[in-house]
Amino acid sequence: MSEDRTTIIVSHRVGSARLAERIIVLEEGMVVEDGSHEELMQRRGVDHELYQMQAQWYH
C-alpha cells in the first residue's frame, strides 16, 4: 500500500514501527532518537525500553 510513497505512521505500539525504514522517537514534543529499528535497539535508549515493555505482544 505504501510502496513508492512516503508514509507517516504515528503510534504508541513500537512493534508497528519496526517495519519502518526510519523511526523518530518524540518525548515531550522533542526528537530524542532517530534511526532504524536495529540501530535504536543497539543504542538501548527510549525506543529500546518501550519495545521491551511491549515485547510480549510481538513474539
The per-residue pLDDT for range 26-54, each reduced to its tens digit, is: 999 999 999 999 999 999 999 999 888 88
Domain count for the chain: 1
Residue 8 lies in a domain: no
Domain residues for 37? 14-57
Helical spans, DSSP H, in 1-59: 14-17, 37-43, 46-54
Q: What phi, psi does 2 have (nearest 5°)?
A: -105, 10
Read off the pTM: 0.79
Cell 529500546, residue?
48
Question: What whole-number distance in Å separates Cα of residue 47 and Cα of residue 35?
Answer: 10
Residue 27 lies in a domain: yes
Residue 1 lies in a domain: no
CB contact at 8 A, 14 and 48: no
Question: What whole-number distance in Å separates Cα of residue 11 and Cα of residue 9?
Answer: 6
Residue 44 lies in a domain: yes
Residue 3 lies in a domain: no
